[in-house]
Homo-oligomer: A and B are copies of this chain.
Amino acid sequence: MHPGEVPIGERLIGGDAARSTARGVRARAREALLREITDTARRRLAEHGAARLSLRAVARDLGMVSSAVYRYVPSRDALLTLLIVEAYEALGAAAEKAEATVARGDLVGRFAATASGIRRWALRHPHEYALIFGSPVPGYAAPADTVGPATRAPRVLIGILLDAAEAFGSTPGPIPGPPPGVVAAIAPVRAHFPAVVPDALVVRGLMGWTYLIGAVSSELFGHRHDVIGSSETDRKAFFDEEMSLIADFVGLPPSPR
């Protein structure tokens, strides 16, 4: 970096522009260091887990004094929140990227790709996955900021369901609606779907998501030890089978060929 140059360049503009771009320089520096902080925190998280994540450790890794971090992050909980948001976004991005590679008409294929993408991301970032899908960190209450990002990955599934609902529109499959109590219960998630999508599909879509997370958590948290073979081959084979059966259960029409 050449700290002297940029301000000189900015001065040529003058007036309000100079003030705002000058502030922009400071803001950019802040932003860069904030990113360094979250990057370091994420690295620590990846290596030692959420419980071992401390502001002091992050400061140490950065070669700063611990109190300096407080210029950027108001508290440990705020740092945790940043990491949670980033984890949700990264998971969502992985899901989107995986799903995008499959032909739009292949609904089961899109579902399988999304599932695999999520599993792959989870295996590569186990602590970040645990941070969002494991037991809640004690004493930490997730603030509203995390709600939006949390929906990013499931939105991919919702997209698949919407296309499935269209497909059903032409092929009148007899889908029995769930009982009234269940219809009432799913009201909050119902808001994310247009009326075209039948209740039964919403229920089954939600179940598909529940299963997907359940299966990944099960593998990642060690509950398939001595249940499924421990090689990646075995685990992947079983996962793919699960997802294939669940796609069928959810009601996705089989892949065209």
Using a CB–CB cutoff of 8 Å, the interface residues on chain A facing chain B are: 48-52, 130-131, 133-139, 142, 147, 150, 178-179, 181-182, 184-189, 203-204, 206-207, 210-211, 213-215, 217-218, 221-223, 225-229, 233-235, 237-238, 241-242, 245-246, 249
Contacts and interface: CB of A to CB of B under 8 A. Distances in A.
Copies in the complex: 2
A215 B210 contact: yes
A162 B137 CA distance: 39
A227 B242 contact: no
A191 to B, nearest CB: 9
A72 to B, nearest CB: 25
Contacts of A215: 210, 214
A181 B235 CA distance: 10
A207 B52 CA distance: 33
Nearest to A180: B237
A245 B188 contact: no
A49 B221 CA distance: 18
A87 to B, nearest CB: 13
11 contacts: A48-B138, A51-B137, A51-B138, A178-B241, A179-B237, A185-B234, A210-B218, A210-B242, A213-B214, A214-B214, A214-B217
